[in-house]
Chain A
Amino acid sequence: MNRFSAAARVLWAALREIFDEAAYARFLQRAGTPSCAEAYAAFCRERECQSARRPRCC
């Protein structure tokens, strides 16, 4: 059971990382602000420079 829950936690963490939720949580922690439309807009601006330049594979 413990192994199952550990695996589920890792899967959830991977999904949060792939979908940038974890990055947003880190951004909020770093900026010391609560989640709101302005904070998310600032996060998107910051991410745009990195993720929009990221090559996608064939």
Chain B
Amino acid sequence: MNKALHFLIWGSVTAVGTVAVAVVALHRSEPINAMWLVTAATCCYALGYRFYARFISAKILALDGLRATPAERLENGRDFLVTNKWVVFGHHFAAIAGPGPLVGPVLAAQFGYLPGTLWILAGAVFAGCVQDFVILLFSVRRDGKSLTEMAKEETGVVGGIVAYAAVIAILIILLAVVALVVVNALKDSPWGTFTIAMTIPIALLMGIYLRRIRPGKVLEVSALGFVLVLLAIWGGQWVSQNPTMAPVFTFRAAPLAISIMIYAFAASAVPVWLLLAPRDYLSTFVKLGTIGLLGLGIVAIHPTLHMPAFTRFVDGTGPVFAGKVFPFAFITIACGAISGFHSLISSGTTPKLIARETQTQMVGYGAMMAESAVAVMAVIAACVLQPGVYFAINSPAGIVGQTAAAATTTISNWGFTVTVADMQSLASAVGEQTLFNRTGGAPAFALGMARIFSQSLGGSRVMALWYHFAVMFEALFILTILDAGTRVARFMIQDALGHIYKPLGRTSWYPSILTTSALIVAAWGFFLWQGVKDPLGGINSLWPLFGIANQLLATVALCVATTIIIKMHRAKYAAVTLVPLAWLVAVTFTACWHKILDPSPRVGFLAQAKVLATGPASAATARLIFNNRLDATVTGALVVMVTLVLIESARQWIGILSGRREARTKEAPFVMTRLAEERL
């Protein structure tokens, strides 16, 4: 391209991006239009991809288009397969896009739209995309090895063990927290409960159709399932208005939690083809379609954000979850900015499909940018709500009061006007009995999404249908994580137990299947039950715990990446992973310190246990005290694990830089590609 034209184009993107970020960051007095966020995000991603990612590709990783990838060298038509880069991109994005980037930004909106937006943009460009990109490339250069294997080989045995333990811990806490989000979205909602309950027979039908009637026609049966789900949403409206049916599908939180545990146990134990695979296909279909629709809806109606840039709750007194903007905004928003979980995908199936090293930038860095864009959409969906409505939905009764009148008074006293009549008419508009105390982020996101969708298509008459479509979208998404996650964790536990007693490691031996399924469901079910019974709503304690665990895994991934960069004799560029690593360590350690030792009972687990211990004693109090102490112990264990990995990695770095250790990486030897002339 002509140099002057190139300069002109990228100069314009920089100028527009600078103005958009400045408007987003400095605008205060009046509500801001969502298009400023969209413009700022688009320009940041474009600049990050064009300059920062390319700098990393050229100076640090030295991507080599002539080096054969494992997909070519080890091609077997199953795991290893040379695949078109856009197909790999789609595959990778579908795997990394979960409910995290939707829920986290909605919860963090209690600080205002600005902290979350800035963290999503800066975190993605300088940390999350970098992590996904470098781990993907390093895995490609190591025959598609997993993060735990790379950690063991490059940083030592401790790194490998910690990575394994972190994955198990994250899975357990993740499953508990997402189950809690579903429980809070479905409690007292016959419409939502009916729709989600219907997805189980629909998935079973899809499984049988796929297996017996039209074998292998997944796209066809997914489209059929999608239509049936839409009918279930429509039928849910009838159920919610029918005096006989409505009570049948109206549940409190505790029975819903038990039902979800039973469902996950069954899904983990029955054959994959019957329930898990069809539900997974169905949710992928809904996920890709809905994310695309939401993006179009935001651009089409370019809504106004009613949430201020900052709220008074940056001081740590927020009702949604307690804790100051630093570090809790950075713990709450993980997946949209940086997620350790992505490093498992980047070192899982994706590196086995990449045709050329040069494609890792687009797949690794690019797909994370797309995920970050989903998080920006979630910020917009939460912030288009009036702040009073947002806080009425997301605040637990234990904070704002048990009655509607008490809640509106408390929230109005914070400066966010809301009335009982406003909330009642909104609940009627979306076909719910009430929208008060619907904590967890999912209902607020669903309401924001329904508002955007209904303004683009159908008007206020179809607001209720869009709202329940959004609830179904989130719950379907989450239930897929629950059943698949329970199964993955079951396999991991079976692998470990197989070393003690061989038959326990056999994945087809039913006593082992049932025991390990029960073990894993009991583990996350314990935390879910704790959340359901928590007077502060559960999300208050569980989401930060999940954020800490997730960022711990990102810390492990960045330690591995930094070690490899130093071993590659690129130490002068190690800041690319070292700076995000330092930031994550600061965030994680500060958050852990607060969660364990903060004197405020709303923030610190031990302080809350102490307050409960001095209050009136009951069976529930004793359980809450135990739970808080256990949470503090889990958090402490996470800190110890991070510290061990850091020490182990730092020993490696110092040893190599001082010349006491040999800088030997475990890369697969160079093999010239045969695909140089082919276009992929």
Q: Which residues does A use to contact B, with CB under 8 Å?
A: 10-11, 13-21, 23-28, 30, 35-37, 39-41, 43-44, 46-58
Number of interface residues of B (CB under 8 A): 60
Tell me the residues in window 482-518 of chain B with beta carbons closer than 8 Å to chain A beta carbons.
484-485, 487-488, 491, 507
For the complex, give the distance between the alpha carbons of A43 and B171 in Å: 28
Given A57-B341, A58-B341: A44 in contact with B277 (beta carbons within 8 A): yes
Of the candidates A17, A28, A50, the one whose C-beta lies within 8 Å of that of B79 is A50
Contact, CB under 8 Å: A10 / B277? no
Contact, CB under 8 Å: B484 / A21? no
Contact, CB under 8 Å: A21 / B219? yes
Set of chain B residues within 8 Å of A27, measured between Cβ atoms: 77
Task: Answer whether residue B157 sits at the interface, using C-beta atoms and an 8 A cutoff.
Answer: no
Set of chain B residues within 8 Å of A26, measured between Cβ atoms: 77-78, 81
Task: Answer whether residue B399 sits at the interface, using C-beta atoms and an 8 A cutoff.
Answer: no
For the complex, give the distance between the alpha carbons of A39 and B214 in Å: 12
Contact, CB under 8 Å: B216 / A21? yes
Given A18-B91, A21-B219, A40-B211: A57 in contact with B84 (beta carbons within 8 A): no
Set of chain A residues within 8 Å of B211, measured between Cβ atoms: 37, 40-41, 44
Contact, CB under 8 Å: A19 / B218? yes
Most central of B94, B284, B341, B485 by chain A CB within 10 Å? B94
Question: Closest B-chain residue to A28, C-beta based?
Answer: B216
Given A40-B210, A44-B211, A57-B341: A15 in contact with B98 (beta carbons within 8 A): no
Task: Answer whether residue B348 sits at the interface, using C-beta atoms and an 8 A cutoff.
Answer: yes
Give chain B nearest CB distance to A43 CB in angstroms: 7
Question: Closest B-chain residue to A17, C-beta based?
Answer: B87
Set of chain A residues within 8 Å of B507, measured between Cβ atoms: 49
Set of chain A residues within 8 Å of B90, measured between Cβ atoms: 14-15, 17-18
Give chain B nearest CB distance to A33 CB in angstroms: 11
For the complex, give the distance between the alpha carbons of A23 and B216 in Å: 10
Contact, CB under 8 Å: A39 / B215? yes
26 pairs from A and B in contact (CB 8 Å cutoff): A10-B84, A14-B90, A17-B83, A17-B87, A17-B90, A18-B288, A20-B281, A21-B219, A26-B78, A27-B77, A28-B216, A41-B273, A44-B272, A52-B491, A54-B349, A55-B344, A57-B95, A57-B97, A57-B335, A58-B98, A58-B100, A58-B174, A58-B178, A58-B334, A58-B341, A58-B550
Contact, CB under 8 Å: A57 / B96? yes
Give chain B nearest CB distance to A30 CB in angstroms: 5
Q: Which residues does B use to contact A, with CB under 8 Å?
A: 77-79, 81, 83-84, 86-87, 89-91, 94-100, 167, 170-171, 174, 178, 210-212, 215-219, 222, 271-273, 276-277, 281, 284-285, 288, 334-335, 339, 341-342, 344-345, 348-349, 480-481, 484-485, 487-488, 491, 507, 546, 550
For the complex, give the distance between the alpha carbons of A44 and B208 in Å: 13
Question: Closest A-chain residue to B273, C-beta based?
Answer: A44
Contact, CB under 8 Å: B284 / A52? no
Contact, CB under 8 Å: A56 / B485? yes
Of the candidates B89, B219, B345, B349, the one whose C-beta lies within 8 Å of that of A15 is B219
Set of chain A residues within 8 Å of B344, measured between Cβ atoms: 55, 57
Ranked 3 nearest A-B pairs via Cβ: A40-B215, A14-B90, A58-B100
Contact, CB under 8 Å: B342 / A24? no
